[in-house]
Amino acid sequence: MNNALAFETLFNRGNLRQLAAPLLIVMILSMMVLPLPPFLLDLFFTFNIAMSIMVLLVAMYTMKALDFSVFPTVLLVTTLLRLSLNVASTRVVLLQGHTGPAAAGKVIEAFGHFLVGGNYAVGLVVFVILVVINFVVITKGAGRIAEVSARFTLDAMPGKQMAIDADLNAGLIGEDEARKRRLNISQEADFFGSMDGASKFVRGDAVAGILILFINIIGGLVVGILQHDMGVAQAAKNYTLLTIGDGLVAQIPALIISTAAGLVVSRVATEEDIGQQFVGQIFGKPMVMLLTATILGVLGLIPGMPNMVFLLLAAGIGWIGWRSQLRQGQPKVEEAPAEAVAAPQESLEASWSDVATVDVLGLEVGYRLIPLVDRGQDGDLLKRIRGLRKKFAQEIGFLSAPVHIRDNLELKPNGYRITMKGVEIGLGETYPGMHLAINPGRVAGTLPGTQTKDPAFGLLAIWIESNLREQAQSMGYTVVDASTVVATHLNHLIMSHAADLLGRQETQALLDHIAKDSPKLIEDLVPKQISLAVVQRVLQNLLEEHVNIRDMRTIIETLAEHAPRSQDPLELTTQVRIALGRAIIQQLFPGNAEMQVMAIEPGLERILAQALQGGGDGSGIEPGLADTLLRETAVAAQRQEESGLPSVLLVPGHLRWLLSRFLRRAVPDLRVIANAEVPDSRTIKVTTIIGAKS
């Protein structure tokens, strides 16, 4: 009963697919040691031919290499299958070869007689030619392509990884998509590396085929003459024909498999299979077809040439070219003209509708960039901008105003301008159909193209043609398309101006959103204890120093606690930063790693404290001291960055606001934190003391 249940479970739960591969390997290995009757040999030889044809067809209909990622394993299995069949057929040929040409089955007999006319000399020549084609041409070429592809794929991995990180940071893709792309890159490198190794199996199979041929011929002569008392001529005819038939029936599938390997590793990944690429790129240009037909026609008119063949083929190719030219020359159906615009009426009185409000965020594009923002022309920039707003809301903590896009004929054709409240904050150029290769600092060479700078971060870059993308990535460049250039620039500016984007309306919308979960908390704070303007100013102070406001519950609770004692936005901001200290430090120093920071020399701290009494904006600092402080801070911050550490300055709480605003002009990326903001559990190590006498 239990055996029946186990049997039913095995065959009713899809386990057969899991057992297929192990059973196939066991069957292949069994053929090397177990004798097979001629009928089973015919069956397995036919299966080998069918398998090779299926592999070739799958390779031709594959869009990209990873769609057939199991191909290296298929190469190994099919090679092992052919060698096992060679061993099994050799056993039958040597044991039963004296009985006649059908001793090893009908398939070997057919390949030994019908394909080479029963002439073992011709069969030997054909076999050697097939082996040479397979070994010297196809297999060697496919192996070389796989080797080069594996090397270039590995070299391009850092650039591709950086491109994925850039798209992720720009909000163009999510974590799941980034993880999927990284997996594809890793699998691609593994695939070409495996193909490089698997091609050695095919080459070894070709060498083994030659050795097996000569061993079988010599062994057959020895067995036929010495054991079966056959004449030399008869033994040579019987055993040589059987051996050649055996070799051909194995080498033809090997040639097909090798061709499939060449097709897989040599194709360029597109949205078309090999057949569509071949027809579209070879026969898709009418002028090429017509010129070819003309040349063939001229050759066909030369006396002594096979005129009929040349003229017939010239007529066929010329007809195909003529039909293609007619199809490409057909005029497109134009839309009906729009109705005539009515004659302008007399100008009306001005009204409030004539007053246009200024967009909070705007993107103006030149006329050549309109396809990037036009849904009708498959422009994907709109989708990317929506992704940027979503990423901004998730990381910063509030929803920014939408980006209004319009064309501007005053810009350069490929130019774009980013505005905030009507004021230009960014300007750049991008070229649809091309890619921007950004130099992250370590590249292996130069590329042909237009030298420029990345508009977002000012890095050296080159505008290159799309067909150079893989080469640029292999050289270490970060390669992005035209839409990504604009989206990354826009994302950088939005992040940099987060405080300016938080207006009164956004603040109220944020409080209303919090009130859905904690209505009493908001009701007791605004406007009973504190005004909306003060809340807005506190949030802007946080955003100006790159502190996100996602933890609004802590911010509101801190304001509610300290609002009865002070309405000063700076004082309230200080208390909020202390409450958010753990999150601020975590953002700068992830995990529980040691905090390696810069500090101010105690004597200099006292001088700055005195200057603070003269002006909270740093105007009380003596000019020479101010210049020295700015210069030393910039040098120390650069030293921190070169060591791979964030530029963080640890100061007393009463100096934090002064130094943050004062030093921001010299070191934009500097983060100034107060001693009170550091959690007690964190360890501090001072790497540089600014103002210390050397």
Q: Where are the domains of the chain?
A: 32-143+195-275, 283-325, 357-499, 502-579, 588-694
**CATH of region 588-694:** 3.40.50.12790
pLDDT above 90 (res 257): no
CB atoms < 10 A from the CB of 567, how many?
Answer: 13
3-state secondary structure 128-157: HHHHHHHHHHHHHHHHHHHHHHHHHHHHHH
Give me the count of residues in the chain: 694
48-62, 405-419, 522-536: least confidently modelled range: 48-62
* Distance from chain centroid for Cα 291: 40
Are 681 and 594 a contacting pair, CB within 8 Å? no
Distance CA 553, CA 541 (A): 17
Are 571 and 561 a contacting pair, CB within 8 Å? no
By three-state DSSP, how is residue 183 classified?
helix
Q: What is the mean pLDDT of residues 185-198?
A: 73
User: If pLDDT is split at 50, 70 and 90, which confidence band does 623 have?
Assistant: confident
Q: What is the mean pLDDT of residues 123-132?
A: 74
Q: pLDDT per residue over 537-569, tens digit each?
A: 999 999 999 999 999 999 999 999 999 999 999
Joined together, the tokens standing for residue 593 give 């790693």
User: If pLDDT is split at 50, 70 and 90, which confidence band does 120 have?
Assistant: low
CA distances from 132 to 53, 74, 125, 140, 560 (A): 21, 22, 11, 10, 86
Q: pLDDT per residue over 410-445, tens digit each?
A: 899 999 999 999 899 999 999 998 999 999 888 888
User: If pLDDT is split at 50, 70 and 90, which confidence band does 344 have?
Assistant: very low
**CATH of region 357-499:** 3.40.30.60
DSSP state of 650: E
pLDDT above 70 (res 76): yes
pTM flag (> 0.75): no
Distance CA 371, CA 377 (A): 6
pLDDT at residue 62, rounded to an integer: 77
Q: pLDDT per residue over 649-676, tens digit each?
A: 999 998 999 899 888 878 888 999 999 9
pLDDT above 80 (res 31): no
Helix residue ranges, H only, 97-223: 106-113, 120-132, 140-169, 175-222
Are 163 and 473 a contacting pair, CB within 8 Å? yes
User: If pLDDT is split at 50, 70 and 90, which confidence band does 287 have?
Assistant: confident
CB atoms < 10 A from the CB of 116, how many?
Answer: 20
User: If pLDDT is split at 50, 70 and 90, which confidence band does 185 have?
Assistant: confident
Joined together, the tokens standing for residue 582 give 């753990």
Distance CA 689, CA 681 (A): 23
Q: Which of 573, 601, 578, 534 is nearest to 679 (CA)?
A: 578
Distance CA 209, CA 252 (A): 11
Let me know if domain 502-579 sits in CATH 1.10.8.540. Answer: yes
Joined together, the tokens standing for residue 52 give 């090779």
Please report, in angstroms and rounded to a whole number, the separation of the first and last CA atoms in the chain. Answer: 90
pLDDT above 70 (res 116): no
pLDDT above 50 (res 83): yes
Q: pLDDT per residue over 574-604, tens digit each?
A: 999 999 999 999 999 988 878 999 999 998 8
pLDDT above 70 (res 328): no
